[in-house]
Structure 1
Amino acid sequence: MARNRFNSGTAPEQELPKAKINKESLQRISGLVNYLKPYKWKFIIGLIFLFLSSLTGLAFPILLGAMIDAAQGNQKYSFIPASINLIGIVAFVILFLQSFVSFFRIKLFVEVAEKSLADIRRDTYFKLITLPMDFFSNRRVGELNSRLSSDLSQIQDTLTTTLAEMLRQIVILIGGVAFLFFISVKLTVLNLSILPVLVVVAIFLGKLIRKVSRQAQDKLAESNTVVEETLQGISSVKAFVNEAYEANRYNLSLREVVKIALRGATYRGGFASFIIFCLFGTIVGVIWYGSILVSQGELYVGSMTTYILYAMFVGAAMGTFPELYANVQKAIGASERVMEILNEKNEAISIVASENQTKKIITGELAFKDVVFAYPSRKEITVLKGLSFEARAGEKVAIVGPSGAGKSTIASLILRFYEAQEGELLFDGKPAGEYALTDIRNQVAIVPQDVILFGGTIKENIGYGKIGASDEEIIAAAEKANAHNFVTALPEGYDTLVGERGIKLSGGQRQRIAIARALLKDPAILILDEATSSLDSESERLVQEALEILMRDRTSIIIAHRLSTIREADKIVVLEKGMVIESGTHDELLKNEEGLYRYLSQLQFEA
């Protein structure tokens, strides 16, 4: 059984990978900075407000300390009023200013982040849908969707919250330390002498805790995999009476999870105890030493209060940096993955519909000349080896052969999803390279074996063949495709939602909608890729009738397993191992007693 991980309801969320922050990583993501340029002034004003908000926040401890000193008849700072009431009024004015600038700081940062992220999402999606098929053959849809959701959400969080918070904490940290030295050099030296020990131990224990957490997550994923495999293969488990074996396997896996979790709890408990001791020990030490300084007349009570508040500010700022830094690392990693997509070379397809109009008309002549092809992801396997055949305009040419012979690859090359390494593909006697991609794809339609419908209505799915088609055109195409009767029998008719990937419709119904879509497109060249191979007899009859109408007066390339569906083809091309080994009509090929076509026919018709 495969050991594939999956996320269950109890599994911890998979963390986004982090990237090292260095010159190279920053250079790789520099392209995303361009998305901030249209909003640079709002971003700069937001930074100014952020700076002002942090500075006003730093003013409160010194004002509160001065108020306590004023109550005792002391005044340490000449730039602060000696009156308690005046200090209170100044504090409320500063509080109002901080509230004012904080509001606009948040509003501006969110506006800049949302608009720039919308631009990045738009361009990433536009780039994705214009990338060549080879890009998608090497990547999972879930991975690409993650880049549009998780990765961009991480960047969004960083721009709206993390970046602003980090800058604010830097200002508070620098300003707080400066005020600590200003109030009492002796107390500050005492504080800073403890800091290196705290940092070293925190880093060491933090790494241990993260390592154990990853191990626990992996083990939990393994135990969840046992559940998934057992439930998916429950019939096999019961047939072999292996319930006890599976129960023991799951129990052993859970014991490992508990063992690792307990080790992690030991590390976390030690870390928490150490932090509590250092944190409260520092507070006790500061108050102890500060009290001595107060008793010696070197420090006022208000100044000591101010010092404790600034020490708390600095401690809180330092405490937030590890998490903020980790979020920035995740954002850098997410940005690199998004930039990978944005830097990919796309096809010559425009996202502006008017620029994709057909410029060169194709009458329907098609020819392969000595075509050699291997998929870019599997370059060591040559799929087509010097393939040559031609189809005149309006001809029905069938492509047959055993699985792996290269039949479906021919369809991909006609649509120019891929380019041949050698040889030529000709349309109307001209190399395919002389036509724009849009010219070819606008005039070639395909009806595949597994029809994928979009999750909208039947009308929208048929209309996909010709954006902007009228209701009359859609209904006419459906009638020709033998789809109109079953569509009108549905309660909502053409407005019926087909469900995700067309799941609410049968295979034959999906095929007929695909045929209606192709009819609406009115292509010069039609490709039928195993269009009836998975249908029952009645559905096949209805689909075959629709296909006969669809193939009328246009070049048709019919890829088929069922040889009974291609007897009337003008030409049958027989492939084996990427080469044409026979060619002719049905009757001509049957006369060749040693031929592969005759052999395949005997197998099917005798069966």
Structure 2
Amino acid sequence: MARGRSSLNSGGKQKEELPKAKITRQTLSNISRLLSYLRPYRWKFIFAMLFLFLSSLVGLAFPSFIGALIDAAQGKSTGKFLPGSIQGIGILALAVLFSQAFISFFRILWFVQVAERSLADIRRDTYFKLITLPMNFFSNRRVGELNSRISADLSQIQDTLTTTLAEIIRQLVLLVGGIAFLAIISIKLTLSLLAVLPVLVVIAVFFGRFIRKISREAQDKLAESNTIVEETLQGIANVKAFVNESFEATRYGKNIGDVASIAIKGAKYRGIFASFIVFGMFGAIVSVVAYGCLLVSHHELTVGELFKFALYAAFVGSAMGSFPEMYANVQRAVGASERVLEILAEQSEKISIIESNNDIKQLIEGDLSFNNVNFHYPSRPEIEVLKGVSFEAKAGQRVAIVGPSGSGKSTTAALILQFYHPQSGTIFFDGKPADEYSLTDIRNQVAIVPQDVLLFGGTIRENIAYGRLKATEEEILAAAKRANAHQFVTSFPEGYDTVVGERGVKLSGGQRQRIAIARALLKNPSILILDEATSSLDSESERLVQEALEELMKNRTSVIIAHRLSTIREADKIIVLEKGAVIESGNHEELLGNEKGLYRYLSQLQFEV
């Protein structure tokens, strides 16, 4: 229940709760590595920045136009830089407005183009890096966490590049330019405004943060209450069986009460904040405007200049108020970039992939041997999974590996596929150490049919063709027929174009197994690994899958991992593992002859069952 609540909370607040990073010289150095992705688009980025600067400058001209129009309407001078008539000012203002619209269009278009294309490059490289990282990397991380790197973290960087960066520059221009224009209009009014406005902005920012914190607390509590509802309804049979309706209702009621209390507390502070805004901010504006009116009455300002001053003051106040939030966005982007860079800095597997053209450079005939292999998972160095394991499988032989759960059977399969590498000892292919082959060559010539087959969410044709992407239609059909899959596939209305659903949920276990066997047949490996391939099937499905497996195992080295000993009686050799060590080896009859052997004991247990 705690896990469900945690996941729900994190999902609900994912975007808001991205951690912030302190902006230091080191973090700026790190983020500059990501900014290198802008290099191919640098000229468009430079021109977008130039147009942004020009657009912001042009925006500063409009309060002057409005003030000039008011003064012109009263027959007063509008200044030496503007026309003296209302018509002239209006035409000039429209011309400037048109030029700003033209500049703004290209500024927005180029910013988005640069940001989207550079982010697409980062996403592509991050995804490629992820799928080429060793298995140990994934064993220490959750899929949701890695997915958030490509989604939430890169979206935060994207928002910063497309919006926040441009907004910071624009607000800087408005702040500096606005203060400059304020000083030109009236230094007295400017000093009075700058004495009050920054203090009010700082108080408003801190107050706003405090209120947002209370809002997040309310969201957390509400998420907890939603989790209680979800868990209770999912497990309603258990609730009723244990007569815990009252307990669950009390638990939910307490949680909802906490939500209400926090919300009321937030409303109280929001009320104080609203009162502060009404009295403090608007009071300050009224005071400055009143002082301005006093200057107008003394003929130190015109009405147009006072109006112009009020507009520039709004520009300055808005810019000051926006900086804390923009700085927080930059901090989040820096934190997100550091997490993405952590992935990009990881050491990839040494694979050679060229546009999915997995040509084999070193052929493997099928000889496989383990020589005194010792292995522990890097994340659990204190647990020795394999201890001095040695065995040999000649090309074309069927070698079965049996033993209790946790004895190291599936680990052996992972080592054959080179998902991990032994800490000591050597794995040989055709008498050569595995290190002398590229990972691509080994994995192109080793196939696995697991107990729990994972199909991708596309069509049956696409899933079979995953074994060899360039396979022809005839080769796909031939593989399906040999795997006993063609008959059930053609019974579907859409045949090979049937969509299997996420993880293949629309197919039964036996159908998924036969699709996996067809995929392996299409790959035509030298070495085949069957990892409990029939253990979870009913009798009829097992018969069909077993026939397909017999076809798959013809003329190739097969390593069969099995709990059901009845499926391995015909194996050329059976390796018995216990606690990571080989304790017996031989064929079915030889091992049954060992009265004190583990294989005989397991066989007797299964026979009795």
TM-score class, shorter-chain normalisation, is over 0.9
Structure 1 equivalent of residue 228 of structure 2: 226
Alpha-carbon shift at residue 351 of structure 1 (Å): 4.1
Aligned counterparts, 1:51-62, within 5 A: 51-62=53-64
1:217 corresponds in structure 2 to: 219
The range that moved more, 386-395 or 570-579, is 386-395
After TM superposition, the structure 1 stretch with the greater mean CA deviation from structure 2, 442-451 or 459-468, is 459-468
Shift of 1:465: 0.8
Structure 1 residue corresponding to 2:560, chosen from 558, 561, 564: 558
Amino acid at match of 1:316: S
CA distance in 2, matches of 1:13, 1:38: 32
Query: What number of residue pairs does the alignment pair up?
Result: 607
Match of 1:186 in 2: 188
Match of 2:515 in 1: 513
1:25-424 matches, within 5 Å, as: 25-75=27-77, 77-353=79-355, 356-424=358-426
Task: Determine the C-alpha separation between the residues in 2 that align with 1:483 and 1:343.
Answer: 43
Runs (5+) with no aligned partner, structure 1 = none
CA deviations over 1:387-416 (Å, ceiling 9, x no partner): 111111111110000000010001110000
Structure 1 residue 14, shift from structure 2 partner: 5.0
CA–CA distance in 1 between the matches of 2:252 and 2:139? 35
1:481 aligns with 483
Residues 89 and 353 of structure 1: is their aligned pair in 2 closer, same or farther, counting only changes over 3 Å? Answer: closer
Q: Encode CA deviations 1:100-128: one digit per residue, 9 max, x unaligned.
A: 11111111111111111111111111111
CA contact (8 A) 2:60 2:177 kept: yes
Matched, 1:4 2:10: no
Give, in whole Å, the separation in 2 of the partners of 1:376 and 1:333: 27
- The change in CA–CA distance for 1:122 and 1:305 in structure 2 (over 3 A counts) is same
- Secondary structure (helix, strand or coil) at the match of 2:19 reads coil
2:60–2:178 Cα contact (<8 Å) kept: yes
The DSSP-based 3-state class of the residue aligned with 1:4 is: helix
Q: CA-atom RMSD, angstroms? A: 1.7
Query: Residues 205 and 321 of structure 2 are in contact (CA less than 8 Å); yes or no, is this contact kept in structure 1?
Result: no
Does the 8 A contact of 1:456 with 1:499 survive in 2? yes
Q: What is the rounded CA distance, in whole Å, between the counterparts of 2:78 and 2:477 in structure 1?
A: 88
| Aligned-partner residue type, residue 2 of structure 2 | A
**Contact 2:201/2:320, CA 8 A, preserved across alignment:** no
What's the secondary structure of 1:376's corresponding residue?
coil
In the TM superposition, what whole-angstrom CA distance separates every residue of 1:172-200 from its partner, at most 9, and x where no partner exists?
11100111111111111111111343244
Once the two structures are TM-superposed, the CA of residue 562 in structure 1 deviates from its matched residue by 0.3
What's the CA shift for 1:355?
6.0
One-letter code aligned to 2:305? S
C-alpha distance in structure 2 between counterparts of 1:119 and 1:89, whole Å: 45
Q: Give the CA deviation at 1:523.
A: 0.6
Q: Is the 8 A contact 1:3 1:225 kept in 2?
A: no
Alpha-carbon distance in 2 for matches of 1:10, 1:37? 34
Per-residue CA deviation, residues 419-461 of structure 1 (Å, 9 max, x unaligned), is: 1111111111111000000110010000000000111111111
The whole-number CA distance in structure 2 between the counterparts of 1:329 and 1:526 is 50
Equivalent residue in structure 2 for 1:570, among 569, 572, 576: 572
CA shift in 2, pair 1:409/1:13, >3 Å: closer
1:157 offset after TM fit, Å? 2.0
What letter is aligned with 1:46? A
Aligned-partner residue type, residue 167 of structure 2: E
For residues 293 and 287 of structure 1, what CA distance do their matches in structure 2 show? 10
**Counterparts of 1:354 and 1:464, CA distance in 2:** 11
1:364, 1:392 within 8 Å by CA — same for their partners in 2?
yes
Q: Report the alpha carbon displacement of residue 12 of structure 1 after superposing the two structures with TM.
A: 6.0
Contact 1:11 1:220 in 2 (8 A): no
After the TM superposition, which segments of 4 or more aligned residues of structure 1 sit over 4 Å from their partners? 8-14
CA contact (8 A) 1:449 1:534 kept: yes
User: What SS class does the counterpart of residue 34 from structure 2 fall into?
Assistant: helix
Q: Is the 8 A contact 2:407 2:578 kept in 1?
A: yes
> For residues 315 and 261 of structure 1, do their structure 2 counterparts lie closer, same or farther at Cα, with a shift above 3 Å needed?
same
Looking at structure 2, the residues matched to 305 and 467 of structure 1 have their Cα atoms a distance apart, in angstroms, of: 70
Check the 8 A contact 2:156/2:336 in 1, yes or no.
yes
After superposing the two structures, state which structure 1 stretch, 406-415 or 372-381, moved more. 372-381
Q: Cα gap change, 1:94/1:144 in structure 2, threshold over 3 Å: closer, same or farther?
A: same
Q: How far apart, CA to CA, are the structure 1 residues paired with 2:231 and 2:189?
A: 62
CA shift, 1:372, in A, is: 1.1
Give the 3 Å change call, closer, same or farther, for CA 96–211 of structure 1 in structure 2.
same
In 1, the alpha carbon distance for the partners of 2:198 and 2:182 equals: 18
Task: Report which stretch shifted further, 437-446 or 144-153.
Answer: 144-153
Cα contact 2:198–2:320 (8 A) shared by 1: no
Q: 1:540 matched to which residue of 2?
A: 542
Alignment of 1:448-467 (within 5 A): 448-467=450-469
Which residue identity does 1:426 align to in structure 2? F
**Hey, what's the Cα distance between the residues in 2 that align with 1:14 and 1:79?**
48
Cα distance between partner residues in 2 of 1:82 and 1:93: 16
Q: Distance in 2 between matches of 1:435 and 1:31?
A: 34
Q: Deviations over 1:326-376 (max 9, x none)?
A: 222222222222222222111122442366421111111111111111111
8 Å Cα contact 2:295/2:301 also seen in 1: yes
Alignment partners' CA distance in 2, 1:124 and 1:172:
37
Partner SS, residue 222 of structure 1: helix
Deviation at 1:234, TM superposition (A): 1.5
Task: Tell me, in whole angstroms, the C-alpha distance in 2 between the residues paired with 1:8 and 1:33.
Answer: 32
Assess if the C-alpha contact under 8 Å between 1:8 and 1:224 holds in 2: no
Deviation at 1:529, TM superposition (A): 0.3
Distance 1:71 1:126 in 2: 65
| Cα offset, 1:215, TM superposition | 2.0
Amino acid at match of 2:606: Q
Check conservation: 1:349, 1:356, Cα contact below 8 A. Answer: no
CA contact (8 A) 2:457 2:503 kept: yes
CA contact (8 A) 2:200 2:281 kept: no
Amino acid at match of 1:423: G
Q: TM-score, normalised by structure 2?
A: 0.97
Amino acid in the other structure paired with 2:497 = D
| Aligned residue type for 2:26 | E
Q: Does structure 2 retain, via aligned residues, the 8 Å contact 1:65–1:306?
A: yes
- Specify the code of the residue in structure 2 equivalent to 1:299: L
Q: Matched residues in 2 for 1:211 and 1:552: separation?
A: 66
Tell me the residue number matched to 1:431.
Answer: 433
CA shift in 2, pair 1:118/1:9, >3 Å: closer
**1:268 Cα shift?**
2.0
Secondary structure of residue in 2 paired with 1:378: coil
Contact 2:136/2:378 (8 A) holds in 1: yes
1:505 to partner: Cα distance: 0.6
1:492 and 1:13 map into 2 onto residues whose CA distance is 40
AA aligned to 2:309 is: Y
In structure 1, C-alpha distance between the alignment counterparts of 2:317 and 2:209, rounded to whole Å: 21
Offset at 1:67? 2.3
Conserved 8 A contact 1:527-1:557: yes
- The 3-state SS of whatever aligns with 1:367 is strand
